[in-house]
Amino acid sequence: RKEVEQDPGPFNVPEGATVAFNCTYSNSASQSFFWYRQDCRKEPKLLMSVYSSGNEDGRFTAQLNRASQYISLLIRDSKLSDSATYLCVPFDSWGKLQFGAGTQVVVTP
Amino acid sequence: GAGVSQSPRYKVAKRGQDVALRCDPISGHVSLFWYQQALGQGPEFLTYFQNEAQLDKSGLPSDRFFAERPEGSVSTLKIQRTQQEDSAVYLCASSLDGDRAFFGQGTRLTVV
């Protein structure tokens, strides 16, 4: 089993709609979690950090379920500029960042 | 500089050639990571440094891959006798305390 699993998508979302997707992780020792977004042919950029049960930043909400070992990301009022691949990254106790393969989101007009 | 800097941005190598990829992390950042990203895939972990110590190199795909960070700042990823399957984007990231990491723009390696 991969350490980090994500639905590759694509999630096709009408502009203004809400989209949510999950990431499951296998390492129960993971201390904190991050969501990165990656645009085509660009480097990953940090979107949100998740340290406790969840975090909200504007239109983005991340929730952590330690018992079931998954993190979710919800995007409200989707914008065209939200089209990207979203990468889930658990941070383990050894300091290693393991990336999922990413979930592609396509926001359509 | 303000961010992580990688050079060269693009590298074309003939099969069998050795290449060296450079990463200048954000000043003062303790942790440094190297990742390999193939088209359509997420970044795959290669290796990780804390200061000059290479704590984990479990992701290096073969003994042709070697990374170093001798003074705990700049890091070099070296690939010997490049093969076509080495073609990918090589990403470097640095982190102040092993927490949030910031990426360079990557080096796109094409082996022909």
| pLDDT tens sequence across A36-79 | 999 998 999 999 988 788 889 999 999 999 999 999 999 999 99
pLDDT at B97 over 80: no
Q: What's the Cα-to-Cα distance from B79 to each of A76, B83, B104, rounded to whole Å?
A: 43, 9, 19
Nearest to A101 among B33, B41, B98 (CB): B41
The Cα A34–Cα B34 span in angstroms is: 17
Average pLDDT over residues A20-24: 95
Asked if the Cβ–Cβ distance from B50 to A44 is below 8 Å, we say no
Q: How confident is the model at residue B107 (pLDDT cuts 50, 70, 90)?
A: very high
Q: What's the Cα-to-Cα distance from B89 to each of A2, A8, A54, A70, A71, rounded to whole Å?
A: 21, 19, 32, 28, 27
The Cα B86–Cα A33 span in angstroms is: 29
Paired tokens of B30 = 């303790």
The confidence score (pLDDT) of residue A47 equals 95
The Cα B85–Cα A41 span in angstroms is: 19
Q: Is the dihedral of CA B58, A4, A55, A52 positive or negative?
A: negative
Min Cα distance B104 → chain A (Å) is: 7
Q: How confident is the model at residue B1 (pLDDT cuts 50, 70, 90)?
A: low
